[in-house]
Amino acid sequence: MTIFNFRTARPVEYYRKYLEQDVRPDGRDLGEFRRTVLNIGCVTTADGSALVKLGNTTVMCGIKAELCKPKTETPKCGFIVPNVELSPLCSPYFRSGPPGEQAQVMSQFMLEVVNHSKCVDLESLCITQGKLVWVLYCDLLCLDYDGNVTDACVLALLAALKNVCLPTISINEETENPETDLTKRVPLPISSQPVSSTYAIFDDNILFVDPTAEEENLATGIITIVTTDDKLCLVHKPGGSPLRPEQLTNCFDRSFDRSKEISRLIDETIHSIDR
């Protein structure tokens, strides 16, 4: 039986053979992410945009700002509305039509990341209290699905938010209508950096980071950890193989390292655009 056939017929066995040597079939260590490529500000029609490639996985985030009325309970808060789209364009697993369960769960996850990390102060989106606030529609398009879309989405969203420049709005006192000054644009203040890292559990006890689509299918569980600077912000393990607390602690350490890597990557990218 050739290697290729072995991989198709007995995928779990094939992975075990590699993992015995602490390496994965694509040559990565257990704690190694795929090459991450970031491109900021690639769509000029959007108010903020970013493209992330994590290995083959590709996600594009475009942010459009609109004006709207705030909720009466929170007259000073604007809105951030993330929406993840997993269309049949990115993988044959997805069907056209209304968003599937995974896309809905991803959208909710992104909303929780924004809310719990407090990366954008919603009050900074306020223009006139109780009357006019910004709503940021963050549309995340998956263009190529090769596993771990969560991490790619969180990075794309963060990079796109950092790219957002909102036009200044002044209220005409006579007509009480908002007037937009497109020439004076202000960058959106970002107060913290949420960074996500996803781990797959293989054979109930081996953990490896940044799973590909193939690895996700073989995994017996998935954990996603979102950190903001030196704090944990979200630990999400929906079922799957039970883990010992020490195993989780190891994941936290890796996640904090990743957080530093990502903030370096974003800084470098923004710097290279400025020049």
Partner 1 sequence: MAGLNLLSDQGFRIDGRKPNELRRIQCKLGVFKQADGSAYIEQGNTKVLATVYGPHEIRGSRAKLLLDRVLVNCQYSMATFSTGERKRRPRGDRKSQEMTMHLKQTFDAAIMTNLYPRSQIDIFVEVLQSDGGNYCASVNAATLALIDAGIPMKDFVCACSASFVNDNPIADINYLEESSGGPELIVATLPKSDQIVFLEQNSRLHEDNLSKVIDLAVKSCKDVYTVLDRTVRDHVSEVSNSHGWDH
Partner 2 sequence: MREMTCELGQLTRCDGDACLIQGETCVATAVYGPTEVRMNKEILDKATVEVVYKSKVGLPGCAEKMFERIIRNTCETTILTTAHPRSGINIIIQEMQNSGSYLACCINSACLALLDAGVSLKFLVAAVTCLINKEGDIILDPNSKQEKDGKALLTFVFNNKDFNIVTVNTKGSYSSRQFKDCTSLCKTSSKQVFEFYKNLWKSC
Residues within the interface to partner 2 (CB under 8 A)? 101, 104-105, 107-109, 111-112, 116-118, 221, 223, 228, 230-245, 248-249, 252
DSSP state letter for 224: E
User: Smallest Cα–Cα separation from 141: which of 64, 256, 247, 252?
Assistant: 64
Beta-bridge partner residues of 66: 135
**For residue 2, what are the contacts with CB-CB under 8 A and spacing of at least 6?**
none
Q: What three-state secondary structure class fits 27?
A: coil
127 interacts with, out of partner 2, partner 1, none, CB within 5 to 8 A per kind? none
Q: Cα–Cα distance between 246 and 205 in angstroms, integer?
A: 12
87 interacts with, out of partner 1, partner 2, none, CB within 5 to 8 A per kind? partner 1
The least distance separating partner 1 from the CB of residue 147, rounded to whole angstroms, comes to 10
146 interacts with, out of partner 1, partner 2, none, CB within 5 to 8 A per kind? partner 1
The least distance separating partner 1 from the CB of residue 141, rounded to whole angstroms, comes to 6
Q: Which helix (H) or strand (E) holds 214?
A: helix 213-218
Q: Where on the chain is the footprint of partner 1 (CB under 8 A)? A: 43-46, 49, 56, 58, 60, 62-64, 66, 83, 85, 87-92, 95-96, 137, 139, 141, 143-146, 213
The least distance separating partner 2 from the CB of residue 161, rounded to whole angstroms, comes to 18
Q: Cα–Cα distance between 210 and 62 in angstroms, integer?
A: 24
The least distance separating partner 1 from the CB of residue 86, rounded to whole angstroms, comes to 12
